Structure 1
C-alpha cells in the first residue's frame, strides 16, 4: 500500500511538471532573456618562463592559476526567433597565482581579480514553440584585471604587480528548458581566449620580472532563465 501511494505521488509530480512545460513557449523575436546561476572559471593555464630583466630565471620557473566560482549573469536579446545577441557578465572572479618550477618555494605568489564581459551571437536551431532550446554562440571577450596583490611573505619581496587586459574570441554552447512561459532551467559552457602578461618588480625596484600566460579558461554555468 505504501509503495502504491509513493508511486502515485511520483506520477502526479511528473504529470504536473509535464503539464507546466507543455504550455510553455520558448523564444521569439523581441524577447529579452536573463540567465543567472553559479559560474565557474577554470583556467587551462599555459605559462611561459618567468624572466628577470629580460633573461629567463634558472631553474626554469612558470606559474599556474586556480579556479573560482561566482554569480554569473547573461542577457540575451532575440533578434529573430532563432538568433540572439548575448552579453555575459558576472561578479568579479578572484584567482590565486601559484609559482611552479625553480622558484616553487614562493608558493602562492599573488591574488588577482578579473571581469570577463563577452558579447556573442547565438543560434537557436529549434522551433520557437519547443520547450527545449539548445543553442551555440560565438563572440568577442574583453577581460580586465584589477586588485592585483601579493600574498604572505611575497608582499615584502615584490611590488607593482600588473596584468595586461585581454581581447579574444569566445565560443559557447548551452541549453534552456522552459518550465513555464517565462521561467526555465539553464546550463551553459564557454571557451574563452584570454592571454595576459604579468609584470612586477623586486621590493627595491632593481629587478623587473615578466611572465606571459595563456589562461584560455572553460567557463561553466548552471542556473535559471527568465524571459521578459
Structure 2
C-alpha cells in the first residue's frame, strides 16, 4: 500500500510538470471507466460473542470487475459513481473457530460516490484525488458446510454500513477519447455479523473491514 501511494504521489507531481497538451476532460464531459480491481480488507475483528471470547475472524481478498461513471462539473472537479460487487469469506483464526476454518461467505455491494479534484486536466498524465461516501450492502450470506457440521443449521446476516471513501489515481490518454487509468480507494466499512446456530445459540462479531481497493483499467470519454 505504501508503495502504491508513493507511486501515485510521484505521478501527480510528474503530471503537473509535463508541458500542456490539448485538454482531454473538460466541463460537461462524461467519463466511463472499466477496471479490474482487487478488494483487500484490512480488517480488525472483535471476539465472537458470547460463546467464543478472544476468537476473531479474518476476511479474504477478492478480485472483480468495476464500472464507474464520472461527470466533470468543471475542468477540474468531477463526481464519480462507482459500482462493483465482490464475494468474501470469513474464517476463524484461533481456538475452536480456527479449527473450523471458513465460517461463512457473503456478497458485498458498496455503491460509492466521490467528489474528485483533477490537478492537471491539460497534462499528459492527469492525477486526481477524491473523497466521498459509501453505503455497503451485504447479501447472499451463507454459513459454510464446516460450520454447520460443527454447530448445526446456521443463519448468517451482516448489517449494512455507511462510511466515508478516499481516492487517488491518474488517467493517461491513449487518444482523444480512450485512456488508461490507475486508481486506489480506501473505504470505511464496519459491520456486525450475526450467526444464529442450532447448537451454539446466537453469536455476534464486530468487523471493521476498511478495504483498500486497487484498480487498473481503460476509460472512454463519451
What TM-score do you get using the length of structure 1 for normalisation? 0.84
Confirm or deny that 1:82 pairs with 2:76: yes
Distance in structure 2 (CA, Å) of the matches to 1:173 and 1:118: 14
Aligned residues: 200
Distance in structure 2 (CA, Å) of the matches to 1:152 and 1:40: 26
The SS at the match of 1:154 is helix
Contact 1:24–1:180 (Cα < 8 Å) also in 2: no
Confirm or deny that 1:135 pairs with 2:133: no
Q: Which moved more, 1:63-72 or 1:97-106?
A: 97-106
Confirm or deny that 1:172 pairs with 2:170: no
Distance in structure 1 (CA, Å) of the matches to 2:170 and 2:134: 21
Contact 1:143–1:165 (Cα < 8 Å) also in 2: yes
Q: How far did 1:24 drift? A: 5.9
What TM-score do you get using the length of structure 2 for normalisation? 0.86
Distance in structure 1 (CA, Å) of the matches to 2:69 and 2:22: 20
Q: 1:190 to 1:39 in 2, by over 3 A?
A: same
Cα root mean square deviation, aligned: 1.5
Q: Following superposition, which runs of at least 4 residues in structure 1 exceed 4 angstroms of deviation?
A: none
Confirm or deny that 1:93 pairs with 2:86: yes
Offset from partner CA, 1:146-165 (integer Å, 9 cap, x none): 01111123234241100000
The SS at the match of 1:161 is strand
Runs of 5+ unmatched residues, structure 1: 1-21
The SS at the match of 2:99 is helix
Highest CA radius of gyration, 1 or 2? 1
